Structure 1
């Protein structure tokens, strides 16, 4: 085996919870948000992929570090060190927002599944995907689930490939990436707030911390500088993947749809359908398959995050490494969240409305959660020698400020 291959294999082994967390951020609902931003404003919002990257890394790294050092998920740590009303406030906002997000993702997967296989009705596609996910999560081991989710991340590269099938002015793209073009309109700021809410999502905070706990338990790790450094690399590469992908989704729809005069996209189905005559069948199929792949990746993360939160809040047995009978409450929560999300889809609640409600709820809770994460990360009783550095605090405070301003803008708009 060549040295290069050994380095690639070693690098792949380092990637884990951070990669899965980052990739799951590009879920079907996120793809719809990025597609609308590209269709409506062309390439003017490409700069957000650069700006949001360090913000995402700073918060997800803190959450991962809390999980590693405290040996508990984020909700378990909050329960131990904070008043109960904070715990219940987080649950009150998080439960409906995550379920609505699950519903929107299942709807996107079902709609695109129907596009690829027109003979199968949308609701049958949605039910099939939901059933597949439930069976897989309940009957497979944590290690197998983690490996499947990790390999599903490769699906995201389909979005990176699409622009290279098109004729693009790359100098113009570079200009819009490095030099922000701000439009002082409500539509522009709605798109901007939507991107922020989609990329810096509270459910990812809980999933990241809980997955790190699973990792140290599965691998019997002793947390030291080497483990922390490995986690930081994982988080940085995972967040880089999500931002590269959302950059290319905005680029694709910004070049194809915007230039064709298609300025409004409500769903991933509409985005995929609109791409077909303009970008060709290959681009259309890559986009559609990417939606299904990211849905299969994101829905377990969403439902899993909710299950960890509730299990930690009520001291239930938890973990994807446990059998169903060993953690019934954890798995029942996971199954019910998917079924309710499916039900929201079937009864006809618009996925776009679900996304709007989700964005509002996420916007309300994100600044509070970031403040708590910062507080925990600076608490030597919890974190010992692994407390935040000055740079960590600076980036965390900046992220909290940006998300607070986004929440205020969301209300005012």
Structure 2
């Protein structure tokens, strides 16, 4: 248990960002993490491009998210360790290192998407991203390294509450309820490259590897053991479902507002779904929410990644240390922020960049899920809490379905490089 008498800096040093997040509640964090910059852009693009057709995909993704997050939470509760430690202990060195590397790549893509989200938010407020992104990167780096992030995080969380306007916008936007309900329960899938590409993006932004890393580590860090797990399991399932209910409202609200207009070209288009709620202030409301969600994740993801990697190799990991005392930890955090901000400044459409990074996550996700599934199936790891027959079948089906879809998109992408297809 975290010592409540310790100073914020000491708590960061011993526990890291994940402990602070866990104190806020896994359900709340799951909802906010799922609806970050990449998530909002991907869900809005799904509604804009394909109307209600992706709703059935979201139902399947919700089932997979519940299964995966529950396994991650159970691993944390019954082993008292995070995923990185479990990868290191229960798999051969090369396999464990490969899993950690994939997590690192996925999280780099996520950091890029968050800084792209910051740039898009400020552009809606008429501030050039070449000005806003470097300044935001410097501020985020400073508030974490100098120990004031605990307070900045609360501000970011409050800003993300703007996205709770989407459920209201969905009702006020007068969608075609019959079509939305039918697409929710009956598949209306397309075999086009664009649809498959976006489906993988939906998987990548919803079942992001960072969330599995967070879930297991947060549960372990809070000291939740087997006797406490039933309540944590309920919280995990609720958080996963709530997260995707918000996601579905984003798709429906956007489909009602601009459905059938094709892929999003700008954040301003995505903001149109909030017009029934905010009227002419929709763009500003969307910008505030996007900024809060992006800034929150732009700090937490690189910091949590640095903690995880430092833990994996067994070196000092604390923001209260100097660069000389914790070179890998602070160096990796700094590098992730710098790389994420730099790539986000590359010329091009920020919305396309956001969605492409979610596709990258979607391609990596089945690799991470395979490791999690293998751990959750092993009695040597979980004892009697290991996956039973039914859960093994369900979890394996989810992983295979995600892997097949990711493989199809990967093959299509490679063929396109060579001008085939």
TM-score higher than 0.5:
yes
Counterpart CA distance in 1 for 2:152 and 2:378 is 33
Map of 1:14-413 to 2, 5 A cutoff? 16-116=25-125, 118=126, 120-140=127-147, 154-216=161-223, 221=224, 223-225=225-227, 227-258=228-259, 262-272=261-271, 280-318=279-317, 323-325=320-322, 329-348=328-347, 351=350, 354-355=353-354, 358-359=357-358, 361-413=360-412
SS at match of 2:316: coil
Which digits, 9 at most, give the CA deviation of each residue in 1:160-193, with x for residues without a partner? 2222332333233222222221223222222222
Displacement of 1:334 in angstroms is 2.2
* Cα distance change, pair 17–316 in 1 and its aligned pair in 2 (3 A): farther
Alpha carbons 1:17, 1:208 under 8 Å: kept: yes
Query: Normalising to structure 2: TM-score of the pair?
Result: 0.81
Which piece of structure 1 moves more, 391-400 or 239-248? 391-400
Alpha carbons 1:257, 1:275 under 8 Å: kept: no
Counterpart CA distance in 1 for 2:358 and 2:123 is 27
* Cα distance change, pair 105–404 in 1 and its aligned pair in 2 (3 A): same
Displacement of 1:53 in angstroms is 1.2
Which piece of structure 1 moves more, 144-153 or 185-194? 144-153
Alpha carbons 1:73, 1:308 under 8 Å: kept: no
* Cα distance change, pair 273–172 in 1 and its aligned pair in 2 (3 A): closer
Which piece of structure 1 moves more, 264-273 or 303-312? 264-273
* Cα distance change, pair 364–133 in 1 and its aligned pair in 2 (3 A): same
Counterpart CA distance in 1 for 2:180 and 2:408 is 27
- RMSD, aligned α-carbons: 3.0
> Any unmatched runs of 5+ in structure 2?
1-21, 413-421
Alpha carbons 1:206, 1:308 under 8 Å: kept: no
SS at match of 2:53: coil
SS at match of 1:95: helix
Alpha carbons 1:20, 1:153 under 8 Å: kept: no
Displacement of 1:108 in angstroms is 1.8
Counterpart CA distance in 1 for 2:157 and 2:377 is 31
Counterpart CA distance in 1 for 2:274 and 2:151 is 35
> Any unmatched runs of 5+ in structure 1?
1-12
Which piece of structure 1 moves more, 204-213 or 341-350? 341-350
Counterpart CA distance in 2 for 1:293 and 1:24 is 11
Alpha carbons 1:66, 1:383 under 8 Å: kept: yes
SS at match of 1:388: coil
Alpha carbons 1:29, 1:104 under 8 Å: kept: yes
Counterpart CA distance in 2 for 1:141 and 1:164 is 39
Alpha carbons 2:129, 2:345 under 8 Å: kept: no
Counterpart CA distance in 1 for 2:274 and 2:28 is 28
Alpha carbons 2:36, 2:114 under 8 Å: kept: yes
Alpha carbons 1:25, 1:298 under 8 Å: kept: no
Counterpart CA distance in 1 for 2:388 and 2:155 is 35
Counterpart CA distance in 2 for 1:142 and 1:228 is 30
SS at match of 1:280: helix
Which piece of structure 1 moves more, 75-84 or 358-367? 358-367
Which digits, 9 at most, give the CA deviation of each residue in 1:317-337, with x for residues without a partner? 346xx6345855334322321
* Number of matched pairs: 389
Query: Normalising to structure 1: TM-score of the pair?
Result: 0.83
Displacement of 1:14 in angstroms is 9.0
